[in-house]
């Protein structure tokens, strides 16, 4: 399953969790930032995060008004272990979406 997250939201999340300002300009930047966010979220003691093997990150550009004016969007692909139930997968993904939605 995949969700879309704007680069500005990823940067805002890192700022909120770690107090550092970052620029998310590439897939590598986003992957590193998502790793930091995931680490903080899994420290909350939720067992569901242990079943999350990795989050794949791909970049996409969203053109709002013109070809010059665009926003960088990342697709996060949640990859779980085989024994993760559908409820567990939904729970983790929903928590990620709610977290970014509150920023």
pLDDT (tens digit per residue) in 50-96: 888 889 999 987 766 666 667 889 999 999 999 999 999 998 999 88
- Domain total in the chain: 1
Q: By residue range, what is the domain housing residue 53?
A: 2-101
Distance CA 28, CA 58 (A): 9
Question: What pLDDT is recorded for position 48?
Answer: 79
Q: Return the ∠ at Cα 28 (arms to 80 and 6), rounded to 5°.
A: 75
pLDDT (tens digit per residue) in 28-59: 999 999 999 988 887 776 677 888 888 999 99
State pTM to two decimals: 0.84
Asked whether the beta carbons of 64 and 71 are under 8 A apart, the reply is yes
- Residue 87 has φ and ψ, to the nearest 5°, of -60, -40
Distance CA 71, CA 93 (A): 23
Question: What pLDDT is recorded for position 46?
Answer: 67
Asked whether the beta carbons of 64 and 73 are under 8 A apart, the reply is no
């Amino acid at each position: 399953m995949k969700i879309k997250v704007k680069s500005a939201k990823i940067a805002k999340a890192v700022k909120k969790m770690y107090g550092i300002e970052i620029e998310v300009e590439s897939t590598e930047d986003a992957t590193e930032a998502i790793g930091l966010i995931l680490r903080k979220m899994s420290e909350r003691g939720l067992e569901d995060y242990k079943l999350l093997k990795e989050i794949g990150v791909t970049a996409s550009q969203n053109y709002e008004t013109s070809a010059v004016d665009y926003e960088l969007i990342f697709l996060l692909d949640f990859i779980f272990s085989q024994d993760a139930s559908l409820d567990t997968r939904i729970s983790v993904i929903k928590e990620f979406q709610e977290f970014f939605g509150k920023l």
